[in-house]
Amino acid sequence: MLAFLVFLLFFIFQYQLVHSMPCSNSNIALVSSPEVREVAVKVHSLLSGTFSEENVHLNISNSQVREYANVHGFLSNGCHLLVLLLEAINRGNIEPLFVRIRKNHPDLPFVAMGMSAESTALHKLLLLKSTDFVLQPFDELRVVPRVRRFLSVVTERMSKSLEGAFASLVGKSENFLSAVDQVHIASRSDATILLLGETGTGKELAARAIHYGGPRSGRPFVPVHCGAVPDHLFENELFGHVKGAFTDASTPTKGLIEEAEGGTLFLDEVDTLTPAAQIKLLRFLQDGHYRPLGSSKDHVADVRVITASNSDLKALVESEKFRKDLFYRISSLAIELPPLRERPTDIPVLAMHFLRMFEQELGSIPRELSASAIQSLLIHYWPGNVRELRGMIHKAILMNQSGSLTARDFQFQGEKERQLSVFKEAKSDAVRRFEQEYVINLLRLHGGNLTLAADRAGTDRRVLQRLLQKHSLDRSEFASTA
Amino acid sequence: MPHTPYILAQEILHYLIRHPDAKDTLEGVLRWWISRDSKATAESLRSALDQLVDKGWVRKQQIAKEENLYSLIKSATPAIVSFLDVNSS
């Protein structure tokens, strides 16, 4: 029953995310001239009621909005749509205002709302890309559909942008696409995410896709490779320090959490954190509080945290190398990126993708992958996953200037040893199965009588006894079969 | 035809003017701040960013051994807007 309820809640959560998507990630800047302040407040209320108050930002200019300079300062914080409320839309503001907005923000849709308007000005306004106008009365039926239409365009553009970046996460295998779907869903929420996968599976790529596809797009994305930071420096890197915190601290220094304010902090190799750093990270995740080194005061930061690991975190928790409470805090939404060997059908696709990419970058002649080259790529284990494949393709292009890459261009270090190891394993497995089957048939034939069976096999009774134990066989099971 | 560092610099500035709080490393700038059509390489992009850092328009902060975080120097916004205005006419 509990499992069903959990499933139902999760389904409802996903449903709401999908159906609220067109508006939930878009910021609307409503900029108004001061002389129409009262109207602006009403329009703000109208838009907030439909698109959520936190997404509609009312800005009343100090002076009449006639030029781009009056507006520019409000176009921050990832504005996706500009709504301009003016006393008049006329030829006086087309060039210094609307045209300048379009020049400096080529992709920003905007809607001009005017108490009055000149028809020639409206015509020129509409000639600019992604613009619209609304004249009074500013009621829901006239305003909301126009704004919603532009937001749909913004959402579609964001989706395409997300898809564009996902073009770097190339693949069509089921397990890979399932992970990509989860990344899409994660990008629409603000939850802490844990990305799991071997090295080279695209964890940092996925983290960025989540950031740039979500509500913090346009804010900082700060990656931290925890394993590369010396233990004794990590807390300073993350939390910063105040002046005098230690001997060389002559000035205060911002930590990476502060650098990521409003955006996303990506902690790769989170399993390498020291116990002390784990405690402080946990506290930060719980309430956004942290303390720079040497400071007596807590700071607060609004930062979304995405963590990643290529280790078995559960095992680290069990061996008490990773805090259980921190693990549960970061793993409520965990996404696993499959290793390349578990998506073999993607190997040729990825290889061709990198081939074309490097051809463009290096300006080299187009090349093809021969069947033998593809075969070589398919049997390799890929411990370095996609990153390793990319490196191999790059090396092959540099070393082979001809039009075709063959198996000879992909000689993997240790590949022969690995193939030999595979043979040994297969042989051992075959011998074990043969042994087991032989003993079973022997016992069946002699009704479980070890003496007779051993005599028949031309071996010692004790040898047969050892084989029984090795294969977990009980001779009494064969007593009635003779 | 891949975009030159000069054109890439303009693309970066356009992105930063629209997203003045944005910060990211070279990898993020390459994948998310500039258009896919630009066919930029890491080298050309680094060159573009270095030009902007030299002009005092973009901040470059080392966050790891070979990793820098790039962001807008907000006091340079008027100069950047003028530059983009002139170059888009």
pLDDT at A179 over 80: yes
A221 touching chain B per CB within 8 A: yes
Determine contact, residues A193/A376, Cβ cutoff 8 Å: no
Query: Which chain A residue is nearest to residue B71, measuring alpha carbons?
Result: A220
Question: Which residues in chain B have their CB less than 8 angstroms from residue A161's CB?
Answer: 32
Write b or e for each residue in A203-219: b if 16 or more Cβ atoms lie within 10 A of its Cβ, otherwise e: bbbbbbbbbbbbbbbbb
pLDDT of residue A419: 56
Residue A279: which H helix or E strand, with range?
A: helix A275-287
B28: pLDDT strictly greater than 60: yes
Nearest residue, CB atoms, A105 vs list B18, B22, B32: B18
d(CA A173, CA A158): 24
Chain B: give the shortest CA distance to residue A131, in Å. Answer: 17
Across the interface, whether the CB atoms of A107 and B71 are under 8 A apart is answered no
Q: Which two tokens stand for residue A261?
A: 């304010």
* Cβ-based contacts of B63 with chain A (< 8 Å): 222-224, 237, 256, 259
Q: Say which CATH number the domain at B80 has.
A: 1.10.10.10
**How far is residue A144's CA from residue B77's CA, in Å, rounded to a whole number?**
33
CB proximity list for A228: less than 8 A, separation 6 or greater: A269, B64, B65
Q: Which of A37-41, A242-246, B35-39 has the lowest mean pLDDT?
A: B35-39
3-state secondary structure at position A41: helix
Is residue A100 within 8 angstroms of chain B, CB to CB?
yes
pLDDT per position as a tens digit, A303-343: 999 999 999 999 999 999 999 999 999 998 899 999 999 99
Query: DSSP letters of A226-273?
Result: GGGS-HHHHHHHHHEE-TTSSTT--S-EE-HHHHTTTSEEEEETGGG-
Asked whether the predicted pLDDT for residue A20 surpasses 70, the reply is no
> Which residues in chain A are closer than 8 Å to B71, comparing Cβ atoms?
220
| Residue-by-residue DSSP string for B30-82 | IIIIS-GGG---HHHHHHHHHHHHHTTSEEEEEEETTEEEEEE-GGGHHHHHH
What mean pLDDT, rounded, does chain A reach? 82
Model confidence at A425, pLDDT cuts 50, 70, 90, reads: low
Task: Name the band, by pLDDT with cuts 50, 70 and 90, for residue A16.
Answer: very low
CB distance from B60 to chain A under 8 Å?
no
**Residues linked to residue A111 through DSSP beta bridges, in sequence order:** A83, A132
Predicted pLDDT of residue A471: 85
Supply the pLDDT for residue A21.
Answer: 30
**Residue-level pLDDT at A371:** 87
Complex ipTM above 0.90? yes
- The Cα of A357 is separated from the nearest Cα of chain B by a number of Å equal to 9
Q: Which of A204, A212, A259 sits opposite B23 (nearest CB)?
A: A259
Interchain CB distance below 8 Å, A262 and B21: yes
**Shortest Cα distance, chain A CAs vs residue B54, angstroms:** 21
The CA-CA-CA angle for residues A43, A44, A47, to 5°, reads 85
Beta bridge partners of A305: A265
d(CA A85, CA A37): 9
Domain A340-409 has CATH 3.30.465.10: no
CB-nearest to A108 from B18, B71, B85 is B18
Geometric angle at alpha carbon A190, from A188 and A195, rounded to 5°: 85
Closest-CA distance, B88 to chain A, in angstroms, reads: 7
Residue % of chain A over a pLDDT of 90: 29
Q: What are phi and psi of A7, to 5 degrees?
A: -60, -40
Compute the nearest-CA separation of B45 from chain A (Å): 12
Structural domain of B76:
5-88
B18 with A79: Cβ contact below 8 A: yes
Radius of gyration of the CA atoms of chain A, in A: 32
Residue in this structure with the two tokens 């009588």, named with its chain if needed: A449
Q: Are A337 and A201 in contact (CB under 8 A)?
A: yes
Dig out the tokens for A57 from the structure. 């930002």
B31/A contact by beta carbon, under 8 A = yes
Per the CB < 8 A criterion, the answer to whether A213 and A184 are in contact is: yes
Domain segments of chain A: what residues?
24-159, 174-336, 340-409, 415-478
Distances (CA, A) of A318 to A283, A323, A465, B76: 21, 9, 39, 52
Residues 154-173 of A with CB under 8 A from B: 161, 164-165, 167-168
Residue B48 C-alpha, separation from nearest chain A C-alpha, in angstroms = 16
Residue of A nearest to B36 (CA): A164
Band (pLDDT 50/70/90 cuts) for residue A157 is low
Lowest mean per-residue pLDDT among A50-59, A436-445, B44-53 = A50-59
DSSP A317-368: HHTTSS-HHHHHHH-SSEEEPPPGGG-TTHHHHHHHHHHHHHHHHHTPPP-E
Per-residue model confidence (pLDDT) at position A124: 79
- Fold classification of A174-336 is Rossmann fold (3.40.50)
- B53 in contact with A, Cβ within 8 Å: no
Kindly identify which residue of chain A lies nearest to residue B10, measuring between CA atoms: A104
| Total number of domains constituting chain B | 1
pLDDT tens for each residue of B60-78: 999 988 899 999 999 999 8
Distance, in Å, from the CA atom of A357 to the CA atom of A196, rounded to the nearest integer, reads: 27
**Residue A334, min C-alpha distance to chain B (Å):** 22
- Residues A389, A340: contact at Cβ < 8 Å? yes
In which band, very low, low, confident or very high, does the pLDDT at A72 lie, cut at 50, 70 and 90?
confident
Domains A24-159 and A174-336 alike in fold: yes
> Tens digits of per-residue pLDDT, A256-309?
999 999 999 999 999 999 998 999 999 999 888 999 999 999 999 999 999 999
Q: Do A218 and B18 touch (CB under 8 A)?
A: yes
Residue A405 has pLDDT above 80, yes or no: yes
For a pLDDT cut of 70, what percent of chain A falls above it?
Answer: 85
A24-159: CATH architecture: 3-Layer(aba) Sandwich (3.40)
| Cis preceding linkage at A137, omega within 30 | yes
Q: Where do runs of H (alpha helix) occur along A384-470?
A: 385-399, 415-445, 450-457, 461-470
Q: Measured in Å, how far apart are chain B's first and last C-alpha atoms?
A: 22
